[in-house]
């Protein structure tokens, strides 16, 4: 459905080039929910923006339904109807001076959809705001955090998209509301066949809703596969470290070293300066420091970009 192929996005920052996304293959199938997991600054938000066509890739392509995304006005406009965005902070995502009706009606107006009022009412009730008419004239500040995020989701649904890209959709919500919003995403998938890419730093969230998980580190996907396999049997040391901080895990792996800097990507395996296996003095460490790893391809199955994993598999 939505596919990124060898995608790279670079920014110039203080004279140096930051490779925010540095070779990513990722696909979201029809009716599939994929979680993109990683720490802040790993490039997951940039990747999401690029998939939305808000950012242009330096190299590689984004394709939708098999055809590469065009950045020309008309084609991009049509693409916007198919792939919609939900951001983290619902208060910020809504113009404070617009009523709920205006916010949700914006998309249909831009695209000149008929029966505006009906579209808005339907989107609101799909998003769980019922009866929709009661919310038409409300302002964002009069709503609760969960209701606001439902309005944002309704704004996306009003365009009848095929894919939702949600950037930390519940990170700024109360724990009790989180579950409701996640349940809503699942229901939308079941009812409408909506696909979703959920960007998050929270593996627990991925566990709850995602069919597949892709773990991103420093601009690249280091491990991906079906949620069960990745979370129950993580191969990549970085995924293992991420999982070890969940309350259920017995042993906590604390990563050393500085948070990664996309202007200075390490040689060899990009994770090696912080890798607990390299730090423990595993004999493979030399290879990790010097040998580049191939970019992971788009596959349904589990895969990890790690020399240790490769060695284990070939043996």
Partner 1 sequence: MTISTPPAADAIAEEPARRGLLRYAVAKVGGALLSIAMVIVATFFAFRLLPGDPVRALAQGRNMTPEQLDLERRRLGLDKSLLEQFVQFVNQTVHFDLGTSYEYKRPVLDLIGERIGATLLLTGTALVMAVSLGIWQGARAGWKPGSRFDKFSTGVSLVLWSVPTFWLGLLLLMVFAAGIGPIPGIFPTRGIESVDAPDGFGYVLDVAKHMVLPCLTMVAVVYAQYLLVMRSSVLDEVGQDYVTTARAKGLKDDEIRRRHAVPNALLPTVTLVFMRIGFVVGGAVTVEAIFSWPGLGQLFYEAIRVPDFTLMQGTFLLITVSVILMNTLADVIYHVLDPRVRSA
Binding interface with partner 1 (CB under 8 A): 52, 54, 76-77, 80-81, 84-85, 87-89, 92-97, 99, 101-102, 106-107, 110-111, 116-117, 133-134, 136-139, 141-142, 152, 155, 159
User: In the bound complex, what is the minimum distance in angstroms from residue 79's beta carbon to partner 1?
Assistant: 9
User: In the bound complex, what is the minimum distance in angstroms from residue 108's beta carbon to partner 1?
Assistant: 9
Rounded Cα–Cα distance for residues 225 and 282 (Å): 26
User: In the bound complex, what is the minimum distance in angstroms from residue 151's beta carbon to partner 1?
Assistant: 11
In a 3-state reduction of DSSP, which class is residue 173?
A: coil
Instruction: Say which residue the tokens 């029809």 belong to.
Output: 30
| 76 vs 245, beta carbon nearer partner 1 | 76
| 159 vs 182, beta carbon nearer partner 1 | 159
| 95 vs 311, beta carbon nearer partner 1 | 95
Rounded Cα–Cα distance for residues 297 and 104 (Å): 38
| 92 vs 193, beta carbon nearer partner 1 | 92
User: In the bound complex, what is the minimum distance in angstroms from residue 314's beta carbon to partner 1?
Assistant: 44
| 153 vs 231, beta carbon nearer partner 1 | 153
Instruction: Please state, in angstroms and as integers, the Cα–Cα distance from residue 253 to each residue in 218, 249, 284, following that order.
Output: 19, 10, 19
| 96 vs 281, beta carbon nearer partner 1 | 96
Question: Residue 143: CA atoms inside 13 Å, Cβ hemisphere, count?
Answer: 24
Residues 83, 84, 86, 90, Cα dihedral to 10°:
180
In a 3-state reduction of DSSP, which class is residue 228?
A: helix
Helix (H) or strand (E) segment spanning residue 84: strand 83-86
Cβ atoms of residues 62 and 9 within 8 Å: no
| 72 vs 252, beta carbon nearer partner 1 | 72
Cβ atoms of residues 242 and 42 within 8 Å: no
User: In the bound complex, what is the minimum distance in angstroms from residue 59's beta carbon to partner 1?
Assistant: 23
In a 3-state reduction of DSSP, which class is residue 196?
A: strand
User: In the bound complex, what is the minimum distance in angstroms from residue 304's beta carbon to partner 1?
Assistant: 32
**145-157 vs 100-110: helix crossing angle, rounded to 10:** 20
In a 3-state reduction of DSSP, which class is residue 118?
A: helix
User: In the bound complex, what is the minimum distance in angstroms from residue 24's beta carbon to partner 1?
Assistant: 20
Cβ atoms of residues 137 and 101 within 8 Å: yes
């Amino acid at each position: 459905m939505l596919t990124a192929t060898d995608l790279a996005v670079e920014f110039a920052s203080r004279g140096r080039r930051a490779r925010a996304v540095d070779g990513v293959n990722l696909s979201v199938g029809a009716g599939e929910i994929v979680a993109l997991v990683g720490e802040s600054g790993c490039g997951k938000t940039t990747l999401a923006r690029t998939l939305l066509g808000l950012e242009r890739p330096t190299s590689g392509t984004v394709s939708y339904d098999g055809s590469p995304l065009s950045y020309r006005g008309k084609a991009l406009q049509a693409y916007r109807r198919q792939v919609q965005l939900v951001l983290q902070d619902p208060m910020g995502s809504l113009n404070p001076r617009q009523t709920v009706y205006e916010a949700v009606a914006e998309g249909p107006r831009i695209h000149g959809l008929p029966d505006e009022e009906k579209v808005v009412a339907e989107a609101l009730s799909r998003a769980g705001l019922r009866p929709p008419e009661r919310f038409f004239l409300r302002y964002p500040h009069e709503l609760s955090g969960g209701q606001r995020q439902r309005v944002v989701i309704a704004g996306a649904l009003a365009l009848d998209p095929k894919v939702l890209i949600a950037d930390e959709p519940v990170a700024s919500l109360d724990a009790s509301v989180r579950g409701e919003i996640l349940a809503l995403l699942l229901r939308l998938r079941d009812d409408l066949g909506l696909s979703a890419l959920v960007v998050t730093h929270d593996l627990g969230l991925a566990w709850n809703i995602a069919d597949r998980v892709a773990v991103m580190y420093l601009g690249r996907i280091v491990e991906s596969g079906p949620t069960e396999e990745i979370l129950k049997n993580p191969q990549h040391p970085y995924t293992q470290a991420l999982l070890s901080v969940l309350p259920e895990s017995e042993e906590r792996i604390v990563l050393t070293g500085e948070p990664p800097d996309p202007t200075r990507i390490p040689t060899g395996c990009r994770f090696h300066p912080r890798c607990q296996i390299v730090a423990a003095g595993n004999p493979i460490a030399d290879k990790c420091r010097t040998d580049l790893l191939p970019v992971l391809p788009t596959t349904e199955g589990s895969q990890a970009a790690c020399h240790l994993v490769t060695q284990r598999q070939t043996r």
